[in-house]
Amino acid sequence: MADAADIATERECILRQEALARLHAARGAQRTSLASRATCEECGDPIPQARRAAVPGVRLCITCQKELEA
Ligand SMILES: [Zn+2]
């Protein structure tokens, strides 16, 4: 069973992870070229989660990507 010190350590660890997550999110927002977009850069349509997972850093929906490659 966890004592007070364990609980305090765990809470501090969680707070630190949350702070790091916020920092990474802020950095990610600045470097959008590396992050997959939730919406298409061209038409603004939502990009399906499967496509975002399959194509790291994806910026266009399938329709716009095809038009670009055509
Ligand atoms: Zn599009």
- Taking only the tens of pLDDT, the chain with its 70 residues reads 678 888 888 888 878 888 888 888 876 665 545 678 899 999 999 999 999 999 889 999 999 999 999 9
CA 58 to ligand 1 center in whole angstroms: 11
pLDDT value of position 34: 60
Q: Tell me the C-alpha to C-alpha distance, in Å, between residue 6 and each of 9, 15, 16, 26, 64.
A: 5, 14, 15, 30, 52
Considering the domain architecture, whether residues 23 and 50 belong to the same structural domain is answered as no
Predicted structure pTM score: 0.50
Same domain, 45 and 26: no
Q: How far is the CA of 66 from the centre of ligand 1 (A)?
A: 9
**40 shares its domain with 10:** no
DSSP single-letter state for residue 41? T
Same domain? For 29 and 39 the reply is: no
What is the residue range of 4's domain? Answer: 1-33
Q: How many domains does the chain have?
A: 2
* Integer Cα distance of 22 and 14 in angstroms: 12
Whole-number Å distance, alpha carbon 15 to ligand 1 midpoint, is 38
Sequence-separated (6 or more) residues with CB below 8 Å from residue 16: none
> Do residues 39 and 16 share a domain?
no
Distance CA 44, CA 61 (A): 8
For the chain, report the end-to-end CA distance as a whole number of angstroms: 63
Whether residues 68 and 40 fall in one domain: yes
